[in-house]
Amino acid sequence: MSTLDDYRAVHQLVGDMYEASTTGGAGEAVRTTVDAVAELTRTARGGHVSVTQLSTKLGISKMSASRRVSTALKGGWLVNDETRKGLPSALRVGEALPARQGLPDPADLERCNAIPTLTNGLAEQRRAAAVEKEPSGDQRWEGSGSQSSVLFVPDEDDEEVPF
């Protein structure tokens, strides 16, 4: 059984990738890029921003900024009004970013107890339940973890597993 800590680790590893795949590329990096363009265009002369200005604002390399801009341009979330090759980009905000569709935030799950955290004593409870099986076949045991309770009702197919 997974715990909330397990989910936090998975969320940290694949959360942005999952969101990007479900929103056509609008992961956290692209969202940050579009937000930075919006902020910079408010004060920029002509209402446009170059990739160089953007990379400086974000504190990333020009190549990284260019990759993010390319994704945002394909999604329509940024527009490059400079059509001539060899000249600096003239970026502005395009269409609205899609709603976030990523994995639920671990803090939200913790607040609503959607994922029980069963770390303390679960193995001992299972061991005790297996040892204390009554012949009636309608045995039930309740075990409580640090945040929730579990009710185990063995059925006819349950095998007794030695611990």
Residue type at 122 in one-letter notation: L
Confidence of residue 37 (pLDDT cuts 50, 70, 90): very high
pLDDT, residue 119, reads 44
Residue 46: pLDDT over 90? no
The stretch 12-33 carries a mean pLDDT of 76
89, 53 Cβ separation under 8 angstroms: no
Q: Which residue has the higher pLDDT, 40 or 141?
A: 40
- pLDDT tens-place string over residues 49-95: 999 999 999 999 999 999 999 999 999 999 999 989 889 999 999 98
Query: Most distant CA pair in the chain: distance in Å?
Result: 83
Q: Which residue has the higher pLDDT, 41 or 127?
A: 41
- Sketch the domain layout of the chain as residue ranges: 24-93, 116-163
Q: Quick one: three-class SS letters along 6-71?
A: HHHHHHHHHHHHHHHHHCCCCCHHHHHHHHHHHHHHHHCHHHCECHHHHHHHHCCCHHHHHHHHHH
Confidence of residue 14 (pLDDT cuts 50, 70, 90): confident
Structure tokens at 96: 């609205």
Q: Does domain 24-93 have CATH number 1.10.10.10?
A: yes
55, 33 Cβ separation under 8 angstroms: no
- pLDDT tens-place string over residues 120-163: 445 555 555 555 554 444 444 444 444 444 444 555 555 554 44
pLDDT, residue 147, reads 44
